């Protein structure tokens, strides 16, 4: 099993103000504005890289609201629609201990999506790819998720993807969102007709500390229902420039 020594495993903190805002502006609000629905239809699932739903203290672990609490409290989903995946066994074990009524799966994100397909239990309406990768590896990973979705999901789908766009430790990162999008389209993924990319994005401070110089960026992809076959129209504009104004206003914000 994957074992990292990262701070987000040893001292997880996902109830920070910036993380709460990022879920609101990166998932809850755009889903509602784009689809016109206030909540995910019954039977559809919300899949996410969940992270820890607790804080580690000297006395052990203390339950935190986390993504699940926020997304359920917002009314976007009900608890039975939640599917939380993490590759860190300790994270999943602790989450399960604190919230045994919720679904927690341990393993690689894409692998767990694939396993759910094989079991015939995959009916996603929202996918939150919330890793801690820069665009270089993150875009390749995103491509592999989208290929899996192309072949296995025929219905409408909202996909939110988060990347590290600036970090004091990484000189190679690009903070230009349009450059990230064009790299994805030019080098990684030939976008089939059933996907559009929302051309605006939300960026926020990563890291637990208030003054953290790390910047995260959220990109949104929308899949229309399709037959399961990927079709490509040459020269098609993959950026959806027909989004309602309020989507763009909501998504273009800064820290």
Per-residue tokens: 125: 């309406």
Of 162 and 196, which CB lies nearer to ligand SAM in the complex structure?
162
We find the least distance from the C-beta atom of residue 224 to ligand SAM, in angstroms, to be 25
The mark string for 60-89 relative to ligand SAM (x by CB under 6 A, - otherwise) is ------xx-----------------xxxx-
Interface residue with ligand SAM, options 24, 132, 140, 185 (CB under 6 A): 132
Residue 48 interacts with ligand SAM (CB under 6 A): yes or no: yes
CA 97/CA 100 separation, integer angstroms = 6
Query: Which tokens sit at 112?
Result: 């767990």
104 lines the binding site for ligand SAM (CB under 6 A): no
Q: In this structure, are residues 104 and 92 in contact, taking their beta carbons and an 8 Å threshold?
A: yes
Helix ranges restricted to H, the chain: 7-10, 17-23, 29-35, 66-73, 89-98, 109-118, 135-152, 177-183, 245-251
Stretch touching ligand SAM by CB under 6 A, among 45-53, 118-126, 187-195, 219-227: 45-53
Is residue 150 a contact residue for ligand SAM (CB under 6 A)? no
**Minimum separation from the CB atom of position 245 to ligand SAM (A):** 27
Reduced to 3 states (helix: H, G, I; strand: E, B; else coil), residue 79 is helix
Measured from the CB atom, is 168 or 234 closer to ligand SAM?
168
Which residues contact ligand SAM by CB under 6 A? 8, 14, 19, 23, 48-51, 66-67, 85-88, 91, 108-109, 130-132
């Amino acid at each position: 099993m994957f074992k990292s020594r990262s701070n987000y495993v040893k001292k997880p903190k996902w109830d920070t103000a910036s993380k709460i805002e990022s879920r609101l502006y990166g998932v809850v609000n755009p889903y509602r504005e784009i689809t016109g629905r206030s909540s995910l239809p019954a039977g559809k699932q919300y899949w996410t890289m969940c992270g820890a739903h607790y804080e580690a203290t000297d006395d052990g672990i203390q339950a935190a609201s986390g993504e699940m609490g926020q997304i359920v409290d917002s009314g976007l989903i009900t608890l039975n629609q939640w599917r939380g995946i993490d590759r860190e066994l300790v994270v999943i074990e602790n989450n399960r201990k604190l919230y045994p009524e919720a679904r927690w799966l341990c393993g690689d994100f894409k692998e767990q999506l694939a396993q759910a397909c094989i079991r015939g239990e995959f009916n996603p309406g929202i996918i939150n790819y919330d890793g801690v990768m820069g665009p270089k590896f993150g875009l390749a990973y995103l491509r592999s998720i989208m290929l899996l979705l192309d072949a296995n999901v025929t219905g409408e789908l909202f996909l939110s993807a988060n990347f590290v766009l600036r970090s004091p430790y990484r000189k190679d990162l690009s903070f230009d969102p349009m450059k990230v999008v064009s790299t994805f389209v030019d080098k990684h993924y030939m976008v089939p007709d059933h996907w559009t990319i929302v051309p605006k994005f939300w960026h926020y401070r990563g890291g637990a500390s208030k003054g953290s110089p790390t910047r995260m960026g959220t990109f949104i992809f929308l899949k229309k229902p399709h037959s399961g076959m990927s079709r490509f129209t040459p020269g098609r504009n993959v950026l959806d420039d027909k989004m309602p104004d309020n989507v763009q206003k909501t998504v273009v914000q800064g820290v």
